[in-house]
Structure 1
């Protein structure tokens, strides 16, 4: 598991580093004003639908089904061809609606904007440019599932790197476009095509026969659709909570959506490196073991994943809460992104940090159900958590602004993870890490955070005032060293705890 996690996390880290470079360029060129909000909205809308149709629901329903059919020697090729046919049909219908009625889609999904808003025409144009990205990502999700089902994780994990490279390249030649926002939007669209080509070549090199799309309903395909319905509702509920941030932020002061975006970028770094990567690795593993009835193996896989989430998540969460302002200033304060925008984003990041450990564990906890073909239980539990999440967003946003949205997100995620953990443990899906280990790791994280804060106040700030170039360089080196040290300690702890779990 750790070897596979290292592959996915390493490539995800490379993608996130390029993503930060992309966001540095975005912050310097677009800042956090109305034009930036127009692009963020056009970028987020297809990503909301992608998370529902392409990645979240599709992977939850298709990958375990395909892995189980393939493990028992069934006709996985026919299943893939029929699922691909229906996937493309659904995406083409949604794309036609989005391109033909863009104004209506924006009126529903971003009611804080109106046709009388100065940025309305720009938002409509940018949305029409970026929305076809959804079709590309659906094909990427299908190809990724085929590769992951054969334990080939590298190509799918590396695909997002192309998004960052294409966006950076487009921003560097922004003078050739009507505006910088247009350049970023076209970079998104071009990257989608490149990712489809890259994953198709990876599947061909892996010897995976790419099926021709067909509209059929075999027994396995019907099973996929029975699992897909609850999975769509589950992913949809998650995206409703995220989309609520977008909708409510359109009623907040200008720049709120951009502040949320930059805070989310830092928050999603550990979520992507650990939480999403672990879920990606263990889902096909649990699916194959479910096909052969290996309950002990499935339980051991999930226990080890949760230990890793705990070992890495606690120290990182404390660091995010204590040093977010510093990280924002180092990464983004330049050009149109000023110190006030950095402070606003850092406050949001601290609110996100409250729910980081549950956020890391979510994908693994859900995989414990989805890998067994159970897509209904996560939906039922998520409905409870989403109700709390949305209610808190509505209650907190008027007084706390974007920080209230982030706090509500953390509360909803924590409740969802707790419900999944308790239900999974009651059903025998997992045993869970012992509480004593969590207390030790929390104390270690607190001391590490105090050390970083002391370094920032005693060394970094005075040195930055005396020599502006040296301060950021030294700070980046210190942060990199601290992250590497924490990662090494957490990995060693995870290995020791995993061995202990595996021997019981």
Structure 2
């Protein structure tokens, strides 16, 4: 994959991820308006986090980290990739069916283990009921992730990136139509859309894979040599993904002991996840199969160029977002969430968390850039070791700071853990040689990007006070336009990026 195709793939994935995240933001705004922070919202967040937690174990994290490099190399060598994909599908389905059955039986235990602060009040029973409806989503979305990984390895990014949009379309539609025309509580319309959305996502990528020539049918699992190798690689990645999920659960456990804190942190998390999903996840999805193929072909110079351009592009888009989240969190949160059942006090609390998450946003994106260096070499043990240290930092900070500063401790812990992970990934990648090092152009551009972001931050800081008396909508619009223009002009003048480069990318893409 040439660098221009890499950027084109990132743009494709980024567009659909942006659509999904924007619709997800619309969904969260509707939840804040219709439900608002409180027991019901806390219960939904805890229930929805259960399948998403295991999803990181079996889908986007562990399984793709192992499956995509192996599948990419089989495509490159033309060594029956379809049989390998079929065996992987059947083995994954068997494990997930067993997991889902156990989870449905022992759901109260899962709720107690992940949100112990709910015990003894109404949130516990609600979370258990919600969890039994939402948990089968893990089976559907993990199988969809297998098809998505195969499509990405074949250079077909659109269907896999578009699939998550379906879930948010269903949820937004249900919240708009269901309670108004058919009655019932909004939260139950929301809950039942989650497994239905999983069915829609799996159907979309399955059909796309069929059209791409990958024909998979359910069958009895077979423990072949390739499946054994996949398991050996995937288990450490699952443990690494599990460590990251433990970070989230530690934060949720701490927050569950504070009124409304689970809801506040959830909404703040969703806001910083918008740029993270659009940039970081898009970069990671496209970069992993590209690096895997380059390593197979011994193209080290091309691998270094791909890594450097991916890092450059991700930080050029992420750093200004981080600055905006730190400088103007309250105007953003107030406009998006301060409606209906969500009041000014809730908005101020969420804004604190958004600013802290903003400080960690570049770290969360850099993880997505650096991890493919390890996964492309089928090395999932090193990221696991790094994730363990990250988990220790997160747990010590979240639990240790909570008695002192209260519910905001998990946000601080998450940011500290993110930078700890990046430092370890970058330091240990030096052993891989030049292919794992950013080139000189990356560091030159990074300094200029930082200077342009400082200019943007100063402009936003000044505009925030000038627009204090304006309506929320107009003030945020002017802030966003002013920030984008100041960053774009400063970046162009300082040489952080060139508009002619983007025009060239678009022309070649067409």
Structure 1: give runs of 5+ residues left out of the alignment.
Answer: 465-470, 500-504
State how far apart, in whole Å, the 2-side matches of 1:156 and 1:484 are: 33
Give the distance between the partners of 2:8 and 2:112, measured in 1 at CA. 46
Q: Is the 8 A contact 1:303 1:433 kept in 2?
A: yes
Kindly indicate whether residue 190 of structure 2 is the aligned counterpart of residue 188 of structure 1.
no
Aligned mate of 1:358, from 363, 383, 387: 363
Q: Distance in 1 between matches of 2:489 and 2:217?
A: 42
| Contact kept? 1:35, 1:119, Cα under 8 Å | yes
Instruction: Find the residue that maps to 2:469 and give its secondary structure.
Output: helix
* Structure 2 counterpart of 1:475: 476
Structure 2 counterpart of 1:455, from 463, 488, 495: 463
* Greater alpha carbon shift after TM alignment, 306-315 vs 473-482: 473-482
Distance change (3 Å), C-alpha of 1:354 and 1:161: same
Instruction: Please give the residue correspondences for 1:476-491 in structure 2 after superposition, counting only pairs within 5 Å.
Output: 476=477, 478-479=479-480, 482-483=483-484, 486=487
**Residues 32-431 of structure 1 aligned to structure 2 (within 5 Å):** 32-114=37-119, 116-172=120-176, 173-174=178-179, 176=182, 178-251=184-257, 253-428=258-433, 429-431=435-437
| Greater Cα offset, 363-372 or 208-217 | 208-217
Q: Could you tell me whether the CA contact under 8 Å between 1:307 and 1:498 is conserved in 2?
A: no
Secondary structure of 2:79's counterpart equals coil
1:205-258: CA deviation from partner (whole Å, max 9, x where unpaired): 33332344441122222221111111111111111111211122111x211001
Pairing 1:25–2:30 present: yes
* Deviations 1:360-398, CA, capped at 9 Å, x for gaps: 110120111101111111112222222112111111122
- Sort the Cα spacing of 1:399 and 1:487 in 2 relative to 1 into closer, same or farther, 3 A: farther
Q: TM-score, normalised by structure 2?
A: 0.91
Q: Which consecutive aligned stretches of 4+ in structure 1 deviate over 4 angstroms post-superposition?
A: 433-436, 483-492, 494-499
8 Å contact 1:61–1:224 — kept in the other structure?
yes
Q: Is the 8 A contact 1:276 1:360 kept in 2?
A: yes
Q: Contact between 1:170 and 1:186, CA under 8 Å: does it hold in 2?
A: no
Cα distance in 1 between the residues matched to 2:146 and 2:478: 39
Q: Which moved more, 1:122-131 or 1:200-209?
A: 200-209
TM-score under structure 1 normalisation? 0.92
- State the 1:177 CA deviation: 5.8
Distance (Å, rounded) in 1 between the aligned partners of 2:287 and 2:310: 8
> In structure 1, how many angstroms separate the alpha carbons of the residues matched to 2:78 and 2:223?
19
Query: What residue in structure 2 maps to residue 438 of structure 1?
Result: 446
Q: CA deviation at 1:74?
A: 0.7
Does the 8 A contact of 1:425 with 1:432 survive in 2? no
- Number of residue-to-residue matches in the alignment: 490
